[in-house]
Structure 1
Amino acid sequence: MQPKSSSARSPQAELLADATALHAAVSDLVRIYQFRDRDKICCYDISVTQCYALEALAGRGPMRSQALAELLLLDKSTTTRVVDALERKGYVERRADAADARALSLQITRKGRTLYETINRELIAQQAEIVAGFDREACAMATEVIRRLARAAEARFVSGISVGDCAPGTGCSPRRRD
């Protein structure tokens, strides 16, 4: 039996190296997509966050403001500003909630759905260009990995796990993304 060479890394060191590489790759991807989305979506006179709200309402149907805030991981006041802007532009309307007439429900308008579908169609066309050179299995595997990373990141966010000054035990409440 030969002793381990000094170049062999421990499982912990390998995990940290993999995590470092993953962090760099995800950071690059998120940064690029944020700029791409901002540049593509904002040319339609809505913000990326407003587009996320339209997407939620288009995909899930009418919902109360609190449900939208939770879905988008926004605080109530930010959600109100997002919805107010969308309502002023005619993309969303507030209606009496079907389950409770005292409450208001948010609903995407025909104009809002048309806008969302236009933006979504353009973004999907860009994705088609990106994955055109991938074989279907590699594309499916990449999609699954990204979905799993998103679910894990959301679970950590929702549970309040953070870094830096908002780390557990510091007494700081994590900020929600705006």
Structure 2
Amino acid sequence: MAVNKKEWYLLYCKGKEELRALTNLENQGIDSFFPTMKIEKKVRNKLTCKDVVIFPNYLFVEIDKDTANFNSIRSTRGVIDFVKCGATYIKVPSGLVTELKVKQACRDKAENAVVAYNEGESVIIQDGPFKGIEAIYQCKDGLERSVLLINLIHNVTTMSIANAEIKSKSLC
């Protein structure tokens, strides 16, 4: 019976070279990962989406400490060294890396499934404290949120709500 003895370690990379290090490590057959997220930025008055590394200069690698060549990993292009505490390499809990990978996959899936609403369209809030309340879509507020007009106690209020929590009234 084969037991998986691989553990996750943290590497410190050269500035903005996480992708280069990841590519070179995968060419060596080493499983590596760094979480990213998309953010909207205004560049020259144009709104653009850009992938940004959540932990700049850091990369997670899964290796078997008994068989891995630490010197080879350390001398990989883009890598500076392992993160250490004294002389011991810092191990990252596998549950943490798994959770980061799951959240990354969910974020990527949610970004691909964005529903576009038109200004003035009636929507219904599907989740959260305002569940069931009808609102009017105003505009998007970043990648994951939208600005809605809500009538609460005879007072019209603008509110930013997560896109996952709203649904078009015409689809109900």
Compute the TM-score of the two structures, normalised by the length of structure 2.
0.28
Compute the TM-score of the two structures, normalised by the length of structure 1.
0.28
